[in-house]
């Protein structure tokens, strides 16, 4: 800074040592070096040589491990083989050599800085007091800019600027937002189970095969999908269903409770015999509620631990879920399970428009 | 004519002169070299975050050369035999290719993931340091705000990153994110449908997350980090109080060579640590999770640690759904998911953003501060911080409550209830305990300043009483008291802090402990550095 420059100081003065110049430079930068001493006042002592050897060793290790990394990278068998083999050690060897090399380099530099660089205490002035004169001058300059435009005394231009700029701003935002916007329509209300062209949708396994009542043993359950093209893929992520074959007394308990949820008892009931099917998509956050505890007939969602009591129409009995899992109305046609209709309420997590 | 000899030794000076002729850089360059940095271990935490970010950029760029964020269905036919013939998305397939068929791809993937975890951990630790020492006070409020934004951007960046491989965990996380968007009142379904380009999961989301993850968010992060560093240089670093240190100076070492060498060495150490972690410790083994399928999830599905506290808050939320008619016949729903995943993060963003101003308003402190405060000297702030940390920890533990329940054979529901109750009572308790601890520590500092350090020597007086001999820190008055002011910095509380004893155990493997020589008979005060040789009681 020019304000710190001392005109009387002659940097060309031959009597000045280099460190004198360093101190003068620091002084002009507002820094005073108050303590500056070599770590080893007497050069070549045993202690100093020991530090030098340590640093040299660390640099040596850096090179050695770096070389080992390159060698391992090229020649270690790396391609995946089933079972056990040397390839399983490829990654650990790379990590050990690369990490070791970098760590040695870091340690060498840090030891050098801490043990060999001179001890130093420097004090720098913060110059943190605001310069009020400068502030006044800059403020005046800014205000003058506003005056120069004359926007204050030209209300027409003020209005015109607003009228002109606002639509242009909208025009800039429109393609960004507009391109993304997509109308939800009824995608949250319909699933692949909706009968298509008057045909009921078959209940299928992941491989597309039909499910017959005798396939699911008493007390057993199976994850099933709508029998439509790609029905078991993520194209129909809202459609997975858990089909449960309840034991007699559990089925009786559920049947007795069916009337608690009007839609489930419509049309002769949504159960078929002792079979019942529930949407697998948790009504809390959409994870598959898939841990079925057979003894208590509870279904647990592993994401946030909502628990649904199957024998009470999948009522949420614990956790953050607030709604029952929707029941898929089941029936049997030609010996295989089909869905009587789509779910009668929207499946999955809640949303604003959900009635 | 003889060719003029090139003087090699003079070349650098000549080159420097040529550059300075054209750019006039000597003065600004020297000012940079001479910039003074204060030294304290706690100032390294932010550096770790910075270095992790550099590692993330390096490894991330490598990963983009192979990763393909496409949701097109393909059949796996790579070298990883257990998944052969499985239907999966192109994104997941390319993640597998990166892990198994690109030489060194796996270590890059794992280093990227570890560096991300370290980045967030360092940010949190750095934030705690800044908060508890009052480094956010005027004039550094803006840098604090940038720091809070950096945390949340890192959060978003991390979430986008682990959603990309399209394995079972990322898909589950995305499904929850979709549900969170749906839970927003009025616009929720529009937001979710627009971002996912239709139904969940659709075909758009990975491509959009990818461009956000590799370009948009990193660009903003980079800009904010540059601003963060620029402000740090402009405003100069805070420092702890100590001899010669005032609010108007910085005491430390100059940037070159000392500080730069230490920082550069530290970068290499962090880099080495990340490489070791990436090589030796498996992280996010996507090939074990399998591709995402909407019907499949495994128990103990956990997000990365920095997202876990929100998972915890979601688990603890009671099933409170608001359902109301806005006009007859039309009911609207406000799902319980809205509160812990939208409102809570909103509050957790806003509160820290405004904290510096709230504190200044309550303490009526409008001055600029460059000296740090010891947490004990500001009990209210420290206690509030402890309250926030304990709130966070309850949420974090609740994010793993199923694993804890399973490992320790505790009822899962009991864990949830413990979390719900704990969230309400632990933070106030932490506040009270911390406040009392701060006062106690303050009092002890003052006591040592007034009476001296406990020596451990018990004396029996002629009348039979036992008293402990105290070593005063200055020449005491007639009552044996010293009137020393508290300087806002560590008060020595042990004799060896006064230089009166050498550390008793030297060396780790071979403790060199010599029997102490009998103490000198006469007692004399151990003044500031006067009597090191005289009182030293063991070797040398």
* Tens digit of each residue's pLDDT (9 = 90 or more) over B12-54: 999 999 999 999 999 999 999 999 999 999 999 999 999 999 9
* Contact (CB<8Å) A290/B295: yes
In which residue are the tokens 């994401």 written? A303
Buried b / exposed e along B327-344 (16+ C-beta atoms within 10 A) = eeeeebbbbbbbbbbbeb
* Contact (CB<8Å) A122/B254: yes
Task: Give contacts of A285 with chain B, Cβ < 8 Å.
Answer: 175-176, 179-180, 314, 337
- Which one of B171, B253, B337 has the shortest CB-CB distance to A122? B253
Task: Give me the residues paired with residue A309 across strands.
Answer: A298, A315
Task: Please determine, for residue A153, whether its predicted confidence score (pLDDT) is greater than 90.
Answer: no
Distance linking the first and last C-alpha atoms of chain A? 71
CB-based contact B151:B123 (threshold 8 Å): yes
Task: Please determine, for residue A265, whether its predicted confidence score (pLDDT) is greater than 70.
Answer: yes
Phi, psi values for residue B399, rounded to 5°: -65, -15
Cα(A71)–Cα(A114) distance, rounded to whole angstroms?
A: 33
Cα(B470)–Cα(B400) distance, rounded to whole angstroms?
A: 50
Confidence band, pLDDT 50/70/90 cuts, at residue A198: confident
The verdict on B194 touching A (C-beta cutoff 8 Å) is yes
The verdict on B339 touching A (C-beta cutoff 8 Å) is no
Cα(A231)–Cα(A206) distance, rounded to whole angstroms?
A: 8
Chain B, nearest residue to A75 by Cα: B103
CB-based contact A287:B172 (threshold 8 Å): yes
Q: Return the pLDDT at B516.
A: 59
Burial degree of B501 (CB within 10 A; 0-12, 13-18, 19+): middle
Q: Return the pLDDT at B477.
A: 85
Task: Please determine, for residue A147, whether its predicted confidence score (pLDDT) is greater than 60.
Answer: yes
Task: Please determine, for residue A295, whether its predicted confidence score (pLDDT) is greater than 80.
Answer: yes
**Residue partners of B38: CB distance under 8 A and separation at least 6:** B237, B238, B239, B240, B250, B251, B252
Q: Return the pLDDT at B325.
A: 85
**Residue partners of B346: CB distance under 8 A and separation at least 6:** none
Distance from CA of A149 to the nearest CA of B (A): 31
CB-based contact B438:B382 (threshold 8 Å): yes
CB-based contact A225:A240 (threshold 8 Å): yes
Structure confidence by residue, pLDDT tens digits, A62-118: 999 999 999 999 999 999 988 888 999 999 999 999 999 999 999 999 999 999 999
CB-based contact A95:B251 (threshold 8 Å): no
- SS3 category, B249: strand
Cα(B532)–Cα(B540) distance, rounded to whole angstroms?
A: 11
**Residue partners of B293: CB distance under 8 A and separation at least 6:** A233, A234, B168, B171
Preceding omega of B407 cis (within 30 degrees of 0)? no
* Contact (CB<8Å) B275/A180: no
CB-based contact B171:B95 (threshold 8 Å): no
Distance from CA of B65 to the nearest CA of A (A): 19
Among A78, A85, A122, which would you mutate to test the B interface (most chain B Cβ atoms within 10 Å of its Cβ)? A122
CB-based contact B179:A285 (threshold 8 Å): yes
CB-based contact B297:A315 (threshold 8 Å): no
Preceding omega of B201 cis (within 30 degrees of 0)? yes
* Contact (CB<8Å) A95/B277: yes
- Candidates B114, B128, B117, B109; CA nearest to B45 is B128
Q: CA angle, corner A43, sides to A38 and A45, nearest 5? A: 115
Task: Give me the residues paired with residue A292 across strands.
Answer: A299
Chain A, nearest residue to B202 by Cα: A235
CB-based contact B115:B274 (threshold 8 Å): yes
Phi, psi values for residue B46, rounded to 5°: -65, -35
Task: Please determine, for residue B193, whether its predicted confidence score (pLDDT) is greater than 70.
Answer: yes
Mean pLDDT of B149-164: 96
The verdict on B311 touching A (C-beta cutoff 8 Å) is yes
* Contact (CB<8Å) A350/B182: yes
In which residue are the tokens 């003087």 written? B7
Torsion angle, CA of B333/B336/B339/B342, rounded to 10 degrees?
-70
Strands B87-89 and B73-75: antiparallel
* Contact (CB<8Å) A320/B236: no
The verdict on B244 touching A (C-beta cutoff 8 Å) is yes
The verdict on A209 touching B (C-beta cutoff 8 Å) is no
The verdict on B293 touching A (C-beta cutoff 8 Å) is yes
- Which one of B103, B236, B333 has the shortest CB-CB distance to A352? B333
Q: Return the pLDDT at B500.
A: 64
Confidence band, pLDDT 50/70/90 cuts, at residue B536: very low
**Residue partners of A334: CB distance under 8 A and separation at least 6:** none
Cα(B259)–Cα(A30) distance, rounded to whole angstroms?
A: 18
- Which one of A1, A126, A351 has the shortest CB-CB distance to B236? A126
Q: Return the pLDDT at A30.
A: 92
* Contact (CB<8Å) B330/A355: yes
Cα(B433)–Cα(B439) distance, rounded to whole angstroms?
A: 10
Distance from CA of A247 to the nearest CA of B (A): 24
Q: CA angle, corner A350, sides to A348 and A355, nearest 5? A: 110
Chain A 33-52, CB below 8 Å of chain B: which residues? Answer: 33-34
CB-based contact A5:A28 (threshold 8 Å): yes
CB-based contact A271:A257 (threshold 8 Å): no
Mean pLDDT of A161-175: 89
Task: Please determine, for residue A310, whether its predicted confidence score (pLDDT) is greater than 70.
Answer: yes
Which pTM does this prediction carry? 0.91
The verdict on A319 touching B (C-beta cutoff 8 Å) is yes
Q: Return the pLDDT at A1.
A: 42
Q: Return the pLDDT at B6.
A: 75
Mean pLDDT of B153-159: 96
B250 in the Ramachandran plot: left (φ > 0), alpha (ψ -120 to 50) or beta? beta
Task: Give contacts of A180 with chain B, Cβ < 8 Å.
Answer: 194-195
Task: Give me the residues paired with residue A331 across strands.
Answer: A338
The verdict on A82 touching B (C-beta cutoff 8 Å) is yes
Chain A, nearest residue to B331 by Cα: A355
* Contact (CB<8Å) A349/B179: yes
Chain B, nearest residue to A224 by Cα: B295
Task: Please determine, for residue A12, whether its predicted confidence score (pLDDT) is greater than 90.
Answer: no
């Amino acid at each position: 800074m020019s304000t710190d420059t001392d005109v009387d100081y002659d940097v060309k003065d031959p009597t000045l040592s280099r460190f004198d110049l360093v101190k003068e430079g620091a002084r002009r930068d507002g820094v005073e070096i108050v303590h500056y001493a070599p770590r080893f006042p007497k050069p070549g002592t045993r202690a100093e040589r020991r530090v030098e050897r340590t640093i040299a060793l660390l640099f040596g290790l850096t090179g050695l491990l770096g070389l080992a990394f390159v060698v391992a990278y090229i020649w270690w068998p790396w391609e995946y083989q089933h079972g056990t083999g040397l390839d399983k050690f490829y990654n650990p060897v790379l990590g050990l050599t690369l990490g070791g090399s970098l760590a040695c380099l870091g340690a060498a530099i840090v030891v050098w800085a801490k043990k060999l660089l001179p001890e130093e205490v420097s004090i720098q002035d913060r110059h943190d007091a605001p310069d009020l004169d400068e502030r006044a001058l800059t403020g005046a300059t800014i205000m003058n800019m506003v005056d120069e435009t004359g926007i204050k005394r030209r209300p027409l231009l003020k209005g015109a600027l607003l009228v002109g700029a606002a639509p242009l701003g909208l025009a800039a935002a429109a393609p960004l937002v507009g391109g993304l916007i997509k109308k939800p329509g009824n995608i949250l209300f319909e699933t692949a189970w909706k009968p298509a062209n008057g045909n009921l949708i078959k209940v299928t396994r992941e491989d597309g095969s039909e499910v017959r009542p005798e396939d699911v043993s008493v007390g057993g359950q199976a994850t099933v999908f709508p029998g439509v093209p790609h029905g078991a893929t993520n194209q129909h992520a809202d459609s997975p269903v858990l089909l449960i074959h309840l034991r007699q007394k559990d089925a009786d308990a559920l049947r007795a409770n069916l009337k608690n949820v009007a839609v489930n008892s419509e049309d002769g009931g949504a159960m078929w015999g002792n079979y019942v099917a529930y949407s697998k998509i948790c009504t809390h956050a959409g994870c598959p509620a898939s841990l079925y505890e057979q003894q208590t007939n509870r279904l647990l969602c592993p994401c946030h631990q909502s628990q649904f009591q199957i024998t009470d129409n999948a009522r949420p009995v614990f956790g953050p879920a607030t709604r029952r899992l929707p029941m898929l109305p089941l029936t049997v046609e030609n010996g295989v399970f089909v869905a009587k209709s789509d779910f009668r309420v929207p499946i999955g997590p809640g949303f604003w428009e959900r009635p | 004519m003889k060719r003029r000899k090139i003087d090699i030794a003079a070349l650098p000076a000549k080159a420097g002169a040529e550059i300075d002729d054209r750019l006039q850089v000597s003065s600004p360059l020297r000012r940079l070299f001479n910039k003074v940095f204060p030294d304290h271990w706690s100032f390294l935490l932010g550096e770790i975050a910075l270095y992790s970010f550099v590692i993330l950029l390096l490894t991330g760029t490598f990963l983009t050369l192979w990763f393909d964020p496409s949701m097109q269905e393909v059949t796996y036919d790579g070298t990883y035999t257990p998944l052969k013939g499985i239907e999966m998305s192109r994104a997941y397939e390319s993640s597998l290719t990166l892990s198994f068929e690109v030489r060194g791809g796996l270590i890059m993937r794992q280093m990227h993931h570890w560096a991300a975890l370290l980045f967030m951990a360092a940010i949190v630790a750095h934030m705690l340091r800044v908060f508890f020492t009052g480094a956010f006070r005027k004039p550094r409020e803006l840098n604090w705000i940038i720091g809070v934004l950096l945390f949340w951007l890192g959060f978003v960046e991390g979430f986008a990153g682990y959603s990309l491989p399209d394995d079972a965990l990322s898909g589950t996380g995305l499904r929850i994110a979709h549900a969170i968007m749906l839970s927003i009142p009025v616009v929720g379904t529009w937001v979710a449908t627009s971002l996912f380009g239709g139904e969940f999961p659709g075909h758009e989301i990975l491509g959009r997350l990818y461009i956000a993850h590799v370009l948009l968010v990193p660009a903003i992060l980079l800009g904010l980090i540059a601003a963060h560093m620029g402000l740090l240089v402009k405003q100069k670093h805070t420092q702890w109080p100590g001899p010669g240190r005032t609010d108007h100076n910085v005491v430390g070492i100059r940037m070159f060579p000392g500080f730069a060498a230490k920082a550069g060495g530290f970068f290499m150490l962090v880099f080495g640590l990340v490489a070791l972690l990436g090589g030796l410790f498996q992280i996010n083994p996507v090939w074990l999770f399998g591709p995402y399928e909407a019907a499949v999830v495994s128990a103990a599905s956990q997000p990365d640690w920095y997202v876990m506290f929100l998972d915890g808050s979601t688990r603890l939320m009671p099933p409170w759904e608001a359902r109301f008619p806005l006009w007859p016949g039309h009911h609207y729903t406000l799902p319980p998911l809205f509160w812990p995943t939208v409102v809570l993060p909103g509050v957790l963003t806003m509160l820290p953003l405004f904290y510096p101003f709230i504190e200044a308003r309550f303490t009526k402190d409008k001055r600029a501060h460059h000296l740090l405060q010891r947490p004990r000297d500001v009990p209210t702030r420290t206690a509030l911080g402890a309250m926030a940390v304990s709130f966070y920890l309850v949420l974090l533990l609740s994010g793993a409550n199923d694993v804890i329940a399973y490992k320790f054979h505790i009822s899962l529901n009991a864990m949830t209830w413990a979390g719900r109750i704990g969230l309400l009572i632990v933070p106030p308790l932490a506040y009270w305990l911390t406040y009392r601890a701060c006062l106690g520590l303050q009092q002890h500092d003052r006591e040592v300043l007034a009476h001296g350090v406990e020596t451990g020597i018990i004396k029996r007086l002629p009348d039979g009483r036992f008293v402990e001999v105290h070593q005063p820190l200055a020449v005491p008055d007639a009552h044996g008291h010293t009137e020393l002011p508290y300087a806002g910095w560590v008060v020595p509380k042990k004799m060896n802090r006064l230089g009166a004893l050498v550390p008793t155990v030297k060396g780790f493997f071979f403790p060199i402990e010599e029997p102490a020589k009998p103490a000198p008979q006469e007692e004399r005060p151990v003044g500031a550095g006067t009597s090191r040789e005289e009182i030293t009681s063991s070797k040398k």
